[in-house]
Homo-oligomer: A and B are copies of this chain.
Amino acid sequence: MTSTTHASFIIERRYQHAPKRVFAAWSDPQAKRAWFVEGEGWDIRSYEMDFHEGGEEKSSFRFVKGEETFGEETLFSNDTVFNEIIANERIIFTYSMARNGARFSISLASVEFSAEGQGTRLVFTEHAAFFDGADGVHMREAGWQELLLKLGDHLDKQGFGQ
């Protein structure tokens, strides 16, 4: 018998950039790739994003730093579908993660952007079903914590203009 574990988490972040600039880092394929998939310790095998409702984002990668844990033969993949997009306000997407082709989680994620002073308050909410041998919610939340930090670094490097 298979097993299924359900879990949710919410991460709230503030960025010193207007909502339209933060949203652009999610909607522009080049910007998204820069903070979402690139970075030390990752070996990106493929990445493509078609950012519109019903469109898909697909990536596959190895954790180079994680060889002790995952082994160099382990290929991870992320298949995302964008369910709803409201520019500068909300993105809702569904994604599944697989290890060597075996799906180990399916998630519903929502990203909400709102203006706060000159900056943006971002709320990331994920509900996930984890299957046998899945990474589990703590590692998943840690992964998104890191990604949302990388998003901030990416925005800061782009500067504070319009």
Contact = CB atoms under 8 A, between A and B. Distances in A.
Interface stretch (A39-47, A104-112, A136-144, A146-154): A104-112
A20 interface: no
Nearest to A83: B106
Q: How many chain copies does the complex carry? A: 2
A127 interface: yes
A81 to B, nearest CB: 8
Interface stretch (A27-35, A59-67, A88-96): A88-96
Nearest to A114: B1
A133 to B, nearest CB: 14
A131 to B, nearest CB: 8
A108 B106 contact: yes
Interface residue tally on A, bucketed by range: 20 to 34
Interface string A2-15: 10101010100000
A86 interface: yes
Contact of A125 (B1, B84, B114, B129): B129
B110 A108 contact: no
Interface of A: 1-2, 4, 6, 8, 10, 81, 83-84, 86, 89-90, 92, 94, 96, 103, 106-108, 110, 112, 114, 125, 127, 129
B6 A129 contact: no
A121 to B, nearest CB: 12
Given A1-B89, A8-B8, A103-B84, A108 B94 contact: yes
